[in-house]
Structure 1
Amino acid sequence: MIVEKATQEDINELEALYNNLNDYLEANVNYSGWIKGVYPIRETAIKGIEGDNLFVLRIDNTIAGSIILNNEPEKAYDEVEWGVDADYKEIFVIHTLVVSPQYMQQGVGCELMTFAHEYALKQNMKSIRLDVSIHNMPAIALYEKLGYKYMGTVDLGLNYAHLKWFKLYELLL
């Protein structure tokens, strides 16, 4: 497994990954609540690449997963008391942790989260924060296993009944 920054050449493959994942979620249990054509979409990949903060995990030159690490919290993050009081320049926020259905249950999500932790340490961040749908039990279990602390539950204002409540987590570095 290799994790590296995504490039413009990865956009089509990322879009296909997002669509395949959303098809899989729709046909099975959609823990994340993502909706094909709404999120994640091609523009998600383009924005992440343009922001220089989208990373891909490759297995045999195929993108098996991706993650966005930036300093952009959702507005609702202001509603909880975090473990560290710092400017978001010193905090990474995880967005769009994606694992291809083809590579599920093979440690891809864990590897991306481990990469995020190591990368944040190298960048001298003070913490990593994220939000996760209250229904996404597999992701919640992963985050808690990796030491992320539950900080509160908030409404991100997404205007989808199934995506009203999100748990916020933080890992202090």
Structure 2
Amino acid sequence: MIEKAKLTDLPEIVAVIESARTFLKAQGIDQWQKSAYPALVDIRADIAHDVAYVLKVDGEIAAYGAVITGFDPAYDLIQGAWRNDNHDYVTVHRLAVSAQFRGQALGQRFLASVFDAFSAYQDFRVDTHPDNHIMQHILTKLGFEKCGVVMFEGARWAFQKVTGD
């Protein structure tokens, strides 16, 4: 299960982000390569806003993500269409898995934990780089549907999962 991140988790979270950044680069994906995003300041802000979550394996942080509820301005303009006009949804940003734990389906487990922890919501949204086929596979496997393109650090494919239909 995911749990809230604490300021003391910052070094481990930054290591997870850097590990994911290196993995993306090795895959030839320019996501998180052109700027420092996500940077320490972003993670600190996530913790300060109470939206930072970690997934631990044997006491070590293996995955990180920001889980935000409510309207996300980055998702307001979409080339395509969301499945509904709901403005009360859950968005997952900055999802990263450490290379140390890769291959254990932790991205999938993190998102499944989001569904459990935020079960009061029925609308979940995520975006990913068009070349990030691993994330697209995870999203599709979990029942997300591609809805279009949003602009978030460049053009990103927007996915949505509506539960309870």
TM-score, normalised via structure 1 length: 0.83
1:149 pairs with 2:145: yes
Partner of 1:161: none
How much is the aligned-residue C-alpha RMSD, in angstroms?
A: 2.0
Q: Give the Cα–Cα distance (whole angstroms) in 1 for the partners of residues 152 and 17 of structure 2.
A: 22
Cα pair distance change 1:149/1:23, threshold 3 Å: closer
> 119, 125, 128: which is aligned to 1:129?
125
Contact 1:86–1:126 (CA under 8 A) maintained in structure 2: no
Partner of 1:84: 84
Cα pair distance change 1:36/1:60, threshold 3 Å: farther
Contact 1:58–1:64 (CA under 8 A) maintained in structure 2: yes
> 68, 92, 95: which is aligned to 1:94?
92
Contact 2:54–2:65 (CA under 8 A) maintained in structure 1: yes
Contact 1:22–1:36 (CA under 8 A) maintained in structure 2: no
Using the TM superposition, give the Cα deviation of residue 24 of structure 1 relative to its aligned residue in structure 2, in angstroms.
Answer: 3.6
Contact 1:19–1:41 (CA under 8 A) maintained in structure 2: no
Contact 1:149–1:171 (CA under 8 A) maintained in structure 2: yes
Using the TM superposition, give the Cα deviation of residue 20 of structure 1 relative to its aligned residue in structure 2, in angstroms.
Answer: 2.8
- Deviations, residues 116-144 of structure 1 (Å, cap 9, x unaligned): 111221xx223011111111111001101
In structure 1, the gaps of 5 or more residues are 159-163
Tell me the amino acid that sits aligned with residue 159 of structure 2.
Y
Using the TM superposition, give the Cα deviation of residue 76 of structure 1 relative to its aligned residue in structure 2, in angstroms.
Answer: 4.8
Tell me the amino acid that sits aligned with residue 38 of structure 2.
P
Partner of 1:7: 6
1:16 pairs with 2:15: yes
> 126, 136, 140: which is aligned to 1:140?
136
Tell me the amino acid that sits aligned with residue 76 of structure 2.
Y
Residues matched between the structures, number: 161
Tell me the amino acid that sits aligned with residue 106 of structure 1.
Q
Partner of 1:167: 157
Contact 2:2–2:114 (CA under 8 A) maintained in structure 1: no
Cα pair distance change 1:74/1:101, threshold 3 Å: farther
| Secondary structure of 1:78 counterpart | coil
| Secondary structure of 1:55 counterpart | strand
| Secondary structure of 2:83 counterpart | coil
